[in-house]
A and B are shown apart, each in its own frame.
Chain A
Amino acid sequence: MTPKKNGRISLARLAEGERAIVATLDGGRRILCRLVSLGFTPGAELVMIQNIGGGSLIVQVRDARIALGRGEASRILVVPLLLTD
């Protein structure tokens, strides 16, 4: 993966099992509204559960599993966490 500046990448490009912190959200008010109420706020930690091919993906955020379309996921920029162990 080629990180954007500040190490941010689109959520859609996070690999399965990787952890990341939400950096920014972008999009229309409706989508933003739904995303933040589901727990996608800057600073929230998430884990990619499933990201296969070009389809929708599954993310775990604030203990909940959320399915997102690829388009919706690309509106979320995240900073991947490096695994320490």
Chain B
Amino acid sequence: MKGMGKTIALAGQPNVGKSTVFNLLTGLHQHTGNWTGKTVELKEGEYQYQGVAYLLVDLPGTYSLTSGSPEERITREYIIREKPDLVVAVINAALLERGLYLVAELLALQVPLVIGLNMMDVAAREGILIEPDVLSAALGVPVVPLEATRKAGISELVQTVAAVTAGTRKLEPRKPDIRQDHKELLNRIVRLIGAIDTTPYPLEWTSMKLLEGDEEVVRMVEAIASSEVWREIQELLRQHDDALVAVATGRYEWIARMIRAALVRPQTGPISLTHRLDRWLTHPGWGVLAFAAVMAAVFSLTYSVGIPLQEFLERGVVRNLQGLVSTWTVALPWWVSGVLSEGLIGGIGTLLTFVPILAFFFVFTALMEDVGCLARAAFVMDRFMHAMGLHGKSCLPLIVGFGCNVPGVLGTRVIESTRARLLTLFLVPLVPCTGRMAVIAFLAPIFFGPQAALVTTGMIVLALIILFLSGVIGGKVFFRQERASFIMELPLYHIPNSGTIGMLVWQRSAEFIRKAFLVILPVSLVVWALSRFPSGDVSESFLAAISRGLEPVGALMGFDWRLIVALLAGFIAKENSLATLAVLFGAGGGAALSVLIRSAYSPAVGLAFMVSQLLFIPCAATVAAIRQESRSWRLTLINISYLFLISTILGIAVYQVALWLGLGK
């Protein structure tokens, strides 16, 4: 591809509609590509124009290119090392100065640039008028006005990209200059490092980043410069520790000159929609109430539509298919039908039953994000998340996790900071999902009768306390001295584009199914085989043998091998624990099972089982989601081991305390 076609990188700050532009250009021709030699996955897509193939690479949204976050490093490393044929900088016309800050940084990288001036409509509504041609003349690069939500300007963008990459449209980019008082300083650094080879990093750019105190560039130069040169540089930087702010100020002064002729702004700002809505939605009281009301509506929809649909798929589709397969394979050995119906169809079916709820939460999250409500929710919830060192945006994935951990985990993508995202990812499996609550809802009345509601509430509170403590500890480990500082943009509200949301939901569902398939199918086959072989009877199976082997540990929680089997079987789906218990006890109906369970175990055992299944290793679909989002089996395994440890320790503690309280009968 790269030899013949052109590679175009798409850069932009968050909330500028970059992904809408990306989707409009590439349509369904998208995939995640691994950037050569790196573990970073970037979204790529293709489009054709006049017989030329263009590979479009979607770079992470970033405000600047000074290394502070992984997103900033990825963006600039990609541009410097992969040398795309052209960079399209998407900027928000309503936030012209801010957008040009990133453009100033891109121009310093001396890469061919085209500016996509998006959200012209939003700017017009705010009373801001921009003349793209005047701006283009000032900057020396093409400026294409866009209204991506209405698909306006996209074909002009495609034409401009083609003309620039083909060399028919020449660029004469204006290089952003540095403030007069720091020019001499910059020149001295350029002379100092002129002797060393900084390829592929441009000399002047490297000097500028040194001046800004960019950690990565400082490390790089320290490693390759001679000790005398390095000492001199260090001395210079020490004398000018205000250079970071000075360089940035210089950029904004340059921007002010560039836009002077192109921008007409209102004398007195009109009271905008954003302003009116924010009077309510960012208010510490009303905002939290509004958010709570939205979440309540979402969950009642999940329970009234999503979960019945899931049950219908489970009973109506999966069970019927399994029944059909069993009748077809009746003449074959027992395990053939087992592999097909329980292993294969059971595994795929479990995955498919997730899809409606998943898609629903995807639509909800995408809407919240696109409209601009997510940032407001994060703002009002921040004070609650703050204690854990987490960002307000971590709140939504955690709450969604109550419905199902899978969309909760996948929803962590809205968190820009990688560290905060990974910590949130780590915490989502501690949120009690509906599957786990179903097990508790069944068991609590058996052991505690009228106090069942109290016990159930206690379970949720316990899970939330563990989540909070894990967050506080995790925050200390993940962030060390650097607290997740709260600096967040509240984007202007805007009407979402249904095409973009549809595309996003489709892509994310398809991506999850594809990846989860590879985890869930083998897992369900292995668990099935373990639970049936060698004889076909669960109680004589390998799984039972393993569980009997684990009985010494289980005994500390009062578990016999059957409860251990039930706990392990929950790995396919949490609700499976109950079905497995029913099989192991040879129960015919729900009522009979409850009697059998009560006569077999004391309330102390019941309590310990509920606690440990609540915090136990999440289901295979969640594990697949954690793997997909963390992009690391190591982190996934650490997460699983942590949950395993917590659930075992708490199971033992709860059992021992319950015995001491006299619940052993």
Task: Tell me whether A66 and B487 are in contact (CB under 8 A).
Answer: yes
Known: A50-B278, A67-B490. A39 touches B98 (CB 8 A): yes
Task: Tell me whether B245 and A32 are in contact (CB under 8 A).
Answer: yes
Q: In the complex, A28→B481 CA distance in Å?
A: 11
For the complex, is A81 an interface residue (Cβ under 8 Å from B)? no
Which residues on B sit within 8 Å (CB–CB) of A50?
278, 282-283
Q: In the complex, A64→B274 CA distance in Å?
A: 11
Category for how many chain B residues contact A? 35 or more
For the complex, is B128 an interface residue (Cβ under 8 Å from A)? yes
Which residues on B sit within 8 Å (CB–CB) of A31?
485, 487
Category for how many chain A residues contact B? 20 to 34
For the complex, is B228 an interface residue (Cβ under 8 Å from A)? no
Contact pick for B63, options A29, A34, A42, A69, CB 8 Å? A34
Known: A62-B98, A64-B489. A56 touches B383 (CB 8 A): yes
Q: In the complex, A37→B66 CA distance in Å?
A: 9
Q: In the complex, A32→B282 CA distance in Å?
A: 25
For the complex, is B95 an interface residue (Cβ under 8 Å from A)? yes
- Within residues 354 to 389 of chain B, which ones have a CB less than 8 A from any CB in chain A? 375, 379, 382-383, 386
Q: In the complex, A69→B491 CA distance in Å?
A: 17
Which residues on B sit within 8 Å (CB–CB) of A35?
487
Task: Tell me whether B489 and A66 are in contact (CB under 8 A).
Answer: yes
Task: Tell me whether A68 and B96 are in contact (CB under 8 A).
Answer: no
Q: How far is the CB of A84 from chain B (nearest CB, A)?
A: 13
C-beta contact mask, A31-55 vs B, less than 8 Å → 1, else 0? Answer: 1111111110111100001101101
Q: How far is the CB of B491 from chain A (nearest CB, A)?
A: 8
Which residues on B sit within 8 Å (CB–CB) of A64?
95, 98, 489
Task: Tell me whether A34 and B487 are in contact (CB under 8 A).
Answer: yes
Q: In the complex, A6→B245 CA distance in Å?
A: 20
Q: In the complex, A53→B489 CA distance in Å?
A: 20
Q: In the complex, A67→B491 CA distance in Å?
A: 10
Known: A34-B68, A58-B282. A68 touches B98 (CB 8 A): no
Task: Tell me whether B278 and A49 are in contact (CB under 8 A).
Answer: yes
Could you list 18 examples of A-B contacts with CB < 8 Å?
A29-B68, A29-B215, A33-B244, A35-B487, A39-B98, A41-B245, A41-B249, A41-B252, A52-B284, A53-B284, A55-B284, A63-B94, A64-B95, A64-B489, A65-B490, A67-B490, A71-B485, A72-B487
B contact residues vs A (CB 8 Å cutoff): 63-64, 66, 68, 94-98, 101, 126, 128, 212-213, 215, 244-245, 248-249, 252, 274-275, 278, 282-284, 375, 379, 382-383, 386, 482, 485-492
Closest 3 CB pairs of A and B: A69-B486, A36-B248, A37-B64
